[in-house]
Amino acid sequence: MMGIYRFLQRLQNTFDEELSAVGEPVATGTMYTGLQQKLHSTLEKMTTDVPLLKINTAIASLMELLNTWEAERRKANGTRLLADGDLSLIARMIAPVAPFLAEEMWSHVLGAVDSVHLASWPHFDKMLAKPASVIIPVQINGKVRAKLTVPQDQLIEHASILEQALAHPDVQKYTEGKTISKQLYIAGKIVSLAVN
């Protein structure tokens, strides 16, 4: 019970900090891009989980968003990170799980007289919801020995991914002086090597 109370307090405090931050919202840079990506991936998760009554996973994704938002707020040095539209998106997104807090946020952002529960559900941007890079595990003889960080746009380049995997120092440690009998890359998922 106290954990969820602390989460809601942190959410309210971060929301208030964002509203009181100075300047126009940052529209570029890694802070903005990372926060926007997290915001839209959380909205995608909420959009799929709430109708299926997967409330615990929906709340967990909101907690992850809050952790990212707080970290970016600390780096921002008082500069505003999110526009009013993004803040209204957050208010609408938390409405199913924290209705009173959502109403409070909604009235602060828009000064709206109508309820947040009468507003339409926000839509996520599929391109923004995708992470910029993906971590792909590399397994050798069934055991994960390394992990590759691959940009989203390079996930379909099989030869390049296998080349990166074989060049990884942790992989070379297990393949040195041995024959690689099989190489398999499942796009965006895993690299699997069989070594004799």
Residue 178 domain boundaries:
133-195
Question: How high is the pLDDT of residue 38?
Answer: 92
User: Is the pTM above the cut of 0.85?
Assistant: no
- Give the domain CATH number at 145: 3.10.20.590
Tell me, yes or no, whether 101 and 45 share the same domain.
Answer: yes
Q: Determine the Cα angle at 80 with ends 33 and 89, to 5°.
A: 65
In this predicted structure, what is the pLDDT of residue 127?
80
Amino acid at 45: K
Number of domains comprising the chain: 2
Give 25's contacts (C-beta < 8 A, 6+ positions apart): 32, 80, 81, 82, 83, 86
CATH of the domain at 92: 1.10.730.10
Neighbours of 36 (CB within 10 A): 17
Q: Please give the Cα distance from 118 to 103 (Å, whole number).
A: 11
Cα 92 from Cα 89, distance rounded (Å): 5
> Could you give the dihedral angle defined by the CA atoms of residues 95, 96, 101 and 107, in that order, rounded to the nearest 10 degrees?
20
- How far apart, in whole angstroms, are the C-alpha atoms of residue 152 and residue 131? 7
Statement: residue 26 has pLDDT above 80: no
- Which pLDDT belongs to residue 53? 95
Quick one: 109 and 39 in the same domain? yes
Give the model's confidence band at 33: pLDDT under 50 very low, under 70 low, under 90 confident, else very high.
Answer: confident
Q: What is the pLDDT of residues 72-83, one digit of tens each?
A: 888 888 788 888
Do 30 and 118 have their domain in common?
yes
Instruction: Kindly state whether residues 27 and 109 are assigned to the same domain.
Output: yes
Could you read off the pLDDT of 87-99 as tens digits, one per residue? 999 999 999 999 9
Residues 17 and 96 in one domain: yes
Q: How does pLDDT run across 151-188, given as a tens digit for each residue?
A: 888 888 999 999 999 999 999 999 998 999 999 999 88
Q: State residue 31's pLDDT score.
A: 55
* Pair (187, 104) in one structural domain: no
pLDDT category, 68, cuts 50, 70, 90? very high
